[in-house]
Amino acid sequence: MQETDYIIVGFGLSGLAVTRQLQSHNKKVVVIDKPSQNASKVAGGMYNPVILKRFTLAWNANEQLPYALQFYKSIEDELKIKIINPLPVYRRFSSIEEQNNWFEASDKPLLNEYLNSELKTTLNKNVNGNYGFGEVKQTGTINTEKLINAFKSKLSSNTNFIEENFNYDSLQVNKDSIIYNNLIARGIIFCEGIGIKNNPYFNTLDIRGNKGEYLIIKAPQLNLEVAIKSGIFIIPLGDNNYKVGASYDRLDTTTNPTETKKIELKKQLDAILTTEYQIIDQVAGIRPTTKDRRPYIGSLNEHKNVYLCNGLGSRGVITSPTISKYLVDHILKDLPIPSDISLERHY
């Protein structure tokens, strides 16, 4: 029987963040995950503190963003990889009213450090922008696929990563221990994303799938060195390639790219770009979301050593480091979990 402190099921952003937090407290972990196309790898990876549809600060972004960047920087240093890419984001305006709303938002105390009040009239000759652009500061991307793959390699080299679908029938939950096949642990933490629908311990939670699709395009003449937000994001990837999206669909539960969303994204892109481009790929993933747009973290009432970290939605890049810290501090130090993200609100 192999002994470990905690078993973690699922290895997207939430599973990685929980693993990192536990390891920072010198706890031994074993991760169980079946490699597949998940939302964390497919995501655009943007860190952006502002909701650019309404020009409001994202939930707790002024606290979560600095901590997240520190978190990812520590991983960069340890694994000797480059995953943080500072990248300005420009919001494309479609009316004078949007310009006025931007000016109003940029005067607010919590937003003025993120929104540049000086508008940019033109951005790029290949981008249609009759009403100009507003710059969002302290933005960029995290290379989530590179992050997850590098961290997985580190775990695998220490035999702490098991590539398999989790078998719930093989799980034995005791008062003071968790047994799974030949593993024995103090506790188990489920970070499965939308896979929670198959989890008999948590499948009654109101966690909903929100499918997102992206196009990958090649546009040799675009020469865009910033990200643009205009309903969709256009994110530079290098080598004249750009990620375009994402779409939102709460009804489609498959992870297959669809022709319908391809046409929808292309129509939005054609309204922005005035240069030719070629679609070279299309990807899809399902984000785990909740009705109140807050994650669920905590433990079962009947099994205090069975934990959950889920429901991070489309902003997991920013939220996962802080959310995982709350959970691990609760597990190891018995600190309370904030009520707005606690699993207790479900019960």
Per-residue pLDDT, 262: 96
As a whole number, mean pLDDT of residues 211-220 equals 95
Per-residue pLDDT, 39: 56
Q: What angle do CA 8, 13, 19 make, to 5 degrees?
A: 35
Q: How far apart are CA 158 and CA 279, in angstroms?
A: 40
As a whole number, mean pLDDT of residues 102-107 equals 95
Among 215, 294, 219, 301, smallest CA distance to 262 is for: 215
Q: How far apart are CA 345 and CA 338, in angstroms?
A: 10
As a whole number, mean pLDDT of residues 28-50 equals 80
| H helix runs in the chain, sequence order | 13-24, 39-42, 61-79, 96-106, 144-157, 259-270, 316-333
User: What is the number of residues in the chain?
Assistant: 347
Under 8 Å between Cβ of 221 and 275: yes
Instruction: Compute and round to an integer the Cα radius of gyration of the chain.
Output: 21
Per-residue pLDDT, 43: 65
pLDDT 10s digits, 152-186? 999 998 889 999 999 999 999 999 999 999 999 99
As a whole number, mean pLDDT of residues 56-76 equals 96
pLDDT 10s digits, 300-333? 989 999 999 999 988 999 999 999 999 999 999 9
Q: How far apart are CA 342 and CA 250, in angstroms?
A: 24
Q: How far apart are CA 139 and CA 89, in angstroms?
A: 6
Percent of the chain's residues with pLDDT above 70: 97
How far, in Å, are 57, 74, 225, 314 from residue 289 at the CA level?
19, 28, 31, 8
Q: What pTM does this model have?
A: 0.93
Under 8 Å between Cβ of 226 and 203: no
